[in-house]
Structure 1
Amino acid sequence: MAPDGTRFTHTDPRQIGGHYLGTTEQALKGQTHTEFYTGTLGRSVRTIAPVRDGAGRVVGLVAAGITETTLTAQWRHQIPVIAAISLAALALSLAGTWLIRRRLLRQTHGLRPDQLRVMYEHHDAVLHSVSEGLLVLERGRVALANDEARRLLALPPGAVALSDLPEFLRAADPGVRDEVHVTDDRVLVVSRSPVAGASGSEVVTIRDRTELQSTLGELSSLKVLTDSLRAQAHEAANKLHTVITMVEMGRPADAVTFATDELELSQRLVDRLSSEVREPALVALLLGKSAQAHERGTDFTVTVDSQLPSDTSHLPLSGREMVTVLGNLIDNAMDACDRDEPWIEVTVHCEPGTELLMRVADSGTGMDPETFENAMRRGYSTKSAPGTGWAWPWWHRWSSGTVARCRPM
Structure 2
Amino acid sequence: MRYFLVFILSLLMLSAVCSAQSYERLYVVQWGDESLAEINLATGNVTAHAVDLGYGCNDICISGSRIYVANSLINTLQEIDAQSNHTVRDLPMVGGLNPYSVASLNSDTLLVTHFRSNNVLLIRLSDGAIAGRIPVGIAPEGIVVSGDYFFVCCTGYSQQGYDPGTVHVFNRGTLLPVDTLQVGLNPQFAAVDHRNRLHVVCTGNYSEITGEIHVFALSDLQRDTILAIGGTPSRVSFGGGYAFLAAGGWSGSGSVFRYSLESLQLLNGPSNPIQTSTGAYDVAALPNGSFFISCSGADVVEQRDATGGLIRSFLVSSNPGYIALYRTDNVQNTLKIYDKDYNYMCAYPNPFNGVVNFKLHSQNVMHYNINIYNKVGQLVDRLSVPAGTSVIQWNSGARLGNSLSSGVYYVTVPGFLNADILKIALIK
Into which bin does the TM-score normalised by the smaller protein fall? under 0.3
Structure with greater strand share of residues: 2
The structure in which a higher percent of residues are helix is 1
Which one has the largest radius of gyration? 1
TM-score (norm 2): 0.19
Report which structure shows greater RCO (CA 8 Å, sep ≥6).
Answer: 2
